Each structure stands twice: as structure tokens, then as C-alpha cells.
Structure 1
Amino acid sequence: MIDQLLRTPLTELVGVRHPVVQTGMGWVSGPRLVTGTANAGGLGILASATMSHAELERAILEVKDRTDQPFGVNLRADAGDAPERCELLIRHGVRVASFALAPRPELIARLKDAGIVVIPSVGAARHAEKVAAWGADAVMIQGGEGGGHTGSVPTTLLLPTVLDALRRSGREIPVIAAGGFFDGRGLAAALSYGAAGAGMGTRFLLTRDSAVPDAVKQLYLSHGLDGTVVTDKVDGMPHRMLRTDLVQELQESSALRRMGPTVRRTLEFKRDSGMSWRRLLRDGREMRRAQGRSLAQTALAANTPTMLRAGLVEGDTSAGVLASGQVVGVIDDLPSCEELIDRIVTSAADELRRAASYVGG
């Protein structure tokens, strides 16, 4: 385990040794992966969207039992019980609350009053300006190269756009860059742009500390740079995932053919989550409001957790989908989180020293 080599606004804000963030991936970012990341000096983030309230509390307690380092929890800002989940973070002293969407100003204020660092994820400069004005401590941006729900703007354009917008607004806060990062060269590039750190999802999914079945990890490793596809046929929103036979079938199927499986998966999600029909409908309405989804897109939303679980937890790639960033095409090993973070940070420091040598006196 290496000492701190890079000191950035992110390491100062959160109290981690290294400016590397393991992002919150549903069914993937559980206690084992988060603990491995935290003990290696990075910021590990629990993914809570696929957990019930009780499961989240158990996961938080498990991480706290296995590490004394800072970690975070990713929350759905549009979830009906978001305030209650925030109180859970406050009660257990979680260091970071990250959000897939912008939380309301009053939720940000409540968390900040309790000493919790608030880091929403944004996909556009105007969203970064908005949450900065509301009091967010930092933001994470994800370019189109990233896995899961993603946009179309690449990180190399989205990152400077967000940094410039925050600078012009007079509300500069640390920016974490995600989408396309997997090694020290990427971290060095992100820091050179002006980011305070780099977030990585697929790279951490493909570690020994990840609980994803080994056979599924090998399937990921077998894909090249053309091995992912962005489709809206799973839950109505652009979603980057591995190119598999199931995804190809979904791409080619009609809305009518997808209706039956959609209803079945919605019922399965309701049963497993313990949500009432009233709560499910309320969350659906909030999702439509917050994300601008159509009624048809909202109806498809329950597909995502169920299909991801089939692939990432149960290892059934014939019935499940596998979210993935494009970096899957350049990853060829399964290190531990400690091995991964050590080599990323060491390489990034070397790259920054090399670049500094180009500057004349």
C-alpha cells in the first residue's frame, strides 16, 4: 500500500489518500468492493438503489465493521424514501452522499448540516451550476464512454465544459471526472484538465474484490473496444452495456413483444424490494418529473434492476444485461483494489512528473 502521492481538492474534502473513486454500481458496489477500495485509500461508494432500507443499513454497518476509512453511499434523489435514507447516513456517520440525480436544496442542506459531503452526478454544465448554487460540495460528471445510463458527450468535452461553467459562475467546486478511465494516464489527464479526481466503474467491477461471478468477469474480459452498445430498449433511457445475444434480441424486438417481460419484471422488482403499489407509483411519478421520462419509459424502468441482477449477481447472461463502459475493451486483468489503486496513482504521478519536464524555465 503506497503513501499519498497526489493531493487534490477531492482528497482534502473527503479525507481519502488517493483521488480515485469507485463509483456506485447497482448489484456491484457492495460492502466487499467498497471496503477493498476504502482500505486501499480510494473513495468507495455503496450503491443503494437496489437495496431496501434495511439492506442498506446492514451494508453500511458491514463496511464500518471492516474499515475505518471514509466511504460513501449513492442514493436516488427521486426515491420516495430519499429523506429517510439520508437520515440513515447521518445516524451512522457516512462521510459522502452521492446522488444519481440532483437532490433538492433542502436535502443538500440537511446533509451538509450533519457534516456529510454531498456529491451529485451531472451530465451537463447547467446542472453543475445548479447544484453548486444549491450548496453541493463537489460534482461527478460522466462522459458518454461510461457504462450504465449515459449521455452522448465524451468526457474530453464534457469535463472542460463543466469546469469552465463553474469558473464563470464564481462557484468553483471540485469536479470528479468519470467515463473512459481505467489507469494512471487517465487520472493524470483528468487532473491536467482541472478535475480533482477520476471515477471508475467497470475497472473496479473487474477486480478480485468485486462480487460479480468469475464467469461473468471473464465474459467482460473477452470483449473488445466494439464490445458495448448504447440502447434504450431495456428501460427507455440510453444505457451502455455489453453487446450480448440478449441485448441484440432486445434491440430487434418490438415494443409489443417486450410488454409481457416488462410486466413480469416489474412484479418481480415489487416483490423483491418490498415496495407497495402506492410507493412504486409515487416513485414512478417522481421519476417522470425529475428525469423527463415518458409514461412508456417510466413503465420500463423496473426492468433495469431485475435484468442487471440476473447477469451481475446470478450470472445468467441469457436473462440479464451487463452494464459496461467502453474501457472494457482495454482491460485484461483482475487485480485487487489495493493493487489497482497503487498502480493507478503511481503511474499518474510519474505521468505528471514527465509532463512537467516539458515546461521550460
Structure 2
Amino acid sequence: MNTALTRLVGVRHPVVQTGMGWVAGPRLVSAVAAAGGLGILASATMSVDELRSAVREVRSRTSEPFGVNLRADAHDAASRVRVIIDEGVRVASFALAPSPELISTLKDAGVVVIPSVGAVRHAVKVAGWGADAVIVQGGEGGGHTGPVATTLLLPSVVDAVDIPVVAAGGFFDGRGLVAALAYGAAGVAMGTRFLLTAESTVPDAVKAAYLAQGLDGTVVTTRVDGVPHRVLRTDLVASLESAGRLRGLARALRNASRFRRLTGLTWPTMIREGLTMRRGRALTWSQVIMAANTPMLLRAGLVEGRTDTGVLAAGQVVGAIDDLPTCADLIEAIMKDATEIIAGLGSG
């Protein structure tokens, strides 16, 4: 299927696997890329050296294009960009808007820049700065999310910018791809659907917990890191919701210390990143401290398999998924169904 996305990044199918922290590692990314989609490696939970090693591992598994997701406000963003350029990665994606200078550096090196956005104004801003495309996530999506449904946000962004738009939030099959194309999108991006595949390294027990959910199995909470975050309804999330502010901040400080030891970050570096987050995202100091919850709570669930003490990010689409296909089978089924649906649209 030939779209503006496939032409831009050189993939066979207009399907993107999002850069999920602790989930989108070399095995999943390479499987998606080999199947003709755009796999995106999550780098925020890696050191720079680990990122370089992960990129090379993906490259050893497949010669197809893939991407790397990174935080634009990270203290070592420039070093991560250098890895992307040096290693010949095709796409750089961002969860927060990259600066015009960062976009320019990447584009001058031939890297395609695709930020993720949750509002029309953010799409307009990064398009004006030179972004090649945007991923727009509606409120149905997992992880950090906004209040506007994909069915309203997507056409609004398509109307506001003249670069390819990739739709995220609520997609899992060929019907969704056709709907996104009808709205004017150039493809779809999926997180939860790819988390629930054979190549995903998430523990089997955690995958089972996801598959057991209905359409009402997620909740948007601010108690994980101070900003709206869509996660599975679990006893831990319920306890976070009912905990007092001081208890929540104490938990966050403990997790900040654990994350610092895991990544090798120094306290001054973490404080500088906190200052950047506070300015760039208009957060209070309490929210900045609470943001330390996210990496460790997600790691507990998605890596260690501790559903009792971990947080499990998930889109509402989790309630529509009941299987664990390989990435190749998933993408093949999506494209087969989408092609058949399009062919039959005019047949009455």
C-alpha cells in the first residue's frame, strides 16, 4: 500500500510500532521492520552506549528501515542524535517537541524527523520547524495522553498541516487503518497491539493480564507522574489514587533514587532534567518529582512482571485484543483486511 508515509520512510506498509519504554527493544523493532512496518526503538530507558548497541542489534537482524524514539529534553539528547546519525538510522521520533536546531541537525544528515503530538497547535508548531511528519495520538491511546478522541483530533491535525500525519490511539486492525486513511492520515501507529505480540519481551503473565481486560479496563490517572497517564486498572493504581500527596511524593523520591542507580545518572543531572521538564511542560515541582515514578513503575510491570507493584500503560484498545500473533502475521492480516475493505467500498 503506497502512502505518503511509506514513501517518506521506505517501508512497505503504513503501519508504525510506537517507541514504548521497556517494551520496544531490538527483538520487537526488528520483527516489525522485517514484516514491512516501521519499528521504533525506545531509547529513553537506555544509556547512550546501550542505545548504540541496540541499534546495531536491530541492524544485525534486518536491513529494513527503523526508527529511534528519544526525549528532546534529555541532557544527552545531542549524544543520542549523534548515535542515530552515525549508525544510519532512518527515523528519529520524539515524544516531546524537538527544537528547531535538533530537527535541522537530523534533517541535514538525512534522518526523517517524526514527533508525536496530542494537540493541533503542537502539530502546527513542529511542522513549521521542519518536521517531516507527525504522529497524532488521541485520548484512547495508552501512556501519556490527552482528552480529545482520535476521531476528532486526527482530522483537525490533517486539516492544519501539510505534512504526512500518522494516526495513533485506538488502532488494532485493518478496519482502523482504512478509517485513518479516510480521515486523511498516511498510516497508523500502534503501541498496545504490538505489546501483545509473540516478539514482545513483556512477560507472559503480564500479557495475560492485558488480554483479560475489557474496553473499560483502563483508567486515566495523574497519580503516576503528575500528568494524565492511561494505564490498566490495577490494585496499585487504585492505591496511588487513594494515597495522600506526601505519601505519593515519598514513593516518587524512592523511585528517583532507584532510576538514578539503574541508569548511572548523577543527582545534578537529574535535577537539570527536572528543571528542563518544569520549564518545557509547565509542571509544578511536585509533578517533576512524581515523574520519577514512571520509569521504575513501568519497569516493575513490563520487565519484572510484577503486576502487583508495577504500572501497565495501555490504550483502551486493549479490550478489543484477544490474541498474541507474530508481528509478521499481525501486519499481514491488517493489510489483507484493509485491502479487501477498500476494494469492497463501492460494491454496495
Tell me the TM-score normalized by structure 2: 0.99
* SS of equivalent residue, structure 1 residue 211: coil
In the alignment, residue 176 of structure 1 is paired with which amino acid? Answer: V
Q: Determine if the alignment matches structure 1 residue 114 to structure 2 residue 104.
A: no
Q: C-alpha distance in 1, partners of 2:114/2:103?
A: 9
Tell me the TM-score normalized by structure 1: 0.95
Question: Could you say which residue in structure 2 is the equivalent of 1:178?
Answer: 168
Find the partner of 2:269 among 276, 279, 282: 279
1:150-161 to 2 correspondence within 5 Å? Answer: 150-161=145-156
- Post-superposition Cα deviations, 1:17-74, rounded to whole Å, max 9, x if no partner, equal 0000000000000000001100000000001111111111110010001000000000
1:78-117 to 2 correspondence within 5 Å? Answer: 78-117=73-112
TM-fit CA distance, 1:125 = 1.1
Question: Could you say which residue in structure 1 is the equivalent of 2:207?
Answer: 217
Does the aligned pair in 1 maintain the 2:120–2:156 contact within 8 Å?
yes
TM-fit CA distance, 1:316 = 0.6
In the alignment, residue 107 of structure 1 is paired with which amino acid? Answer: L
Q: C-alpha distance in 2, partners of 1:7/1:276?
A: 47
1:1-361 to 2 correspondence within 5 Å? Answer: 6-166=1-161, 172-357=162-347
Q: C-alpha distance in 1, partners of 2:285/2:344?
A: 53
Does the aligned pair in 1 maintain the 2:248–2:290 contact within 8 Å?
no
- Post-superposition Cα deviations, 1:251-310, rounded to whole Å, max 9, x if no partner, equal 111112223221111100111111111111111111111111111100111110000000
- Post-superposition Cα deviations, 1:190-248, rounded to whole Å, max 9, x if no partner, equal 01110000000000000000000001000100010010000000100100000011111
TM-fit CA distance, 1:354 = 1.7
TM-fit CA distance, 1:352 = 1.4
User: CA RMSD, aligned part only?
Assistant: 0.8
TM-fit CA distance, 1:357 = 3.5
> Across the two proteins, how many residue pairs are aligned to each other?
348
In the alignment, residue 11 of structure 2 is paired with which amino acid? Answer: V
Q: Which moved more, 1:127-136 or 1:18-27?
A: 127-136
Q: C-alpha distance in 1, partners of 2:346/2:282?
A: 45
Does the aligned pair in 1 maintain the 2:116–2:135 contact within 8 Å?
yes
Q: C-alpha distance in 2, partners of 1:249/1:235?
A: 14
Does the aligned pair in 1 maintain the 2:17–2:37 contact within 8 Å?
yes
* SS of equivalent residue, structure 1 residue 118: strand
- Post-superposition Cα deviations, 1:64-121, rounded to whole Å, max 9, x if no partner, equal 0100000000010111111110011000000000000110001101100100000001
* SS of equivalent residue, structure 1 residue 70: coil
Q: C-alpha distance in 2, partners of 1:142/1:9?
A: 18
Structure 2: runs of 5 or more not aligned: none
Moved over 3 A (4+): none
- Post-superposition Cα deviations, 1:148-203, rounded to whole Å, max 9, x if no partner, equal 0000100000001101111xxxxx10000000000000000001110000000000
Does the aligned pair in 1 maintain the 2:249–2:286 contact within 8 Å?
no
* SS of equivalent residue, structure 1 residue 341: helix
Q: C-alpha distance in 1, partners of 2:269/2:287?
A: 18
Percent identical residues? 65
Question: Could you say which residue in structure 2 is the equivalent of 1:169?
Answer: none
Q: C-alpha distance in 2, partners of 1:237/1:149?
A: 7
In the alignment, residue 137 of structure 1 is paired with which amino acid? Answer: D
In the alignment, residue 173 of structure 1 is paired with which amino acid? Answer: I
Structure 1: runs of 5 or more not aligned: 1-5, 167-171
* SS of equivalent residue, structure 1 residue 176: strand
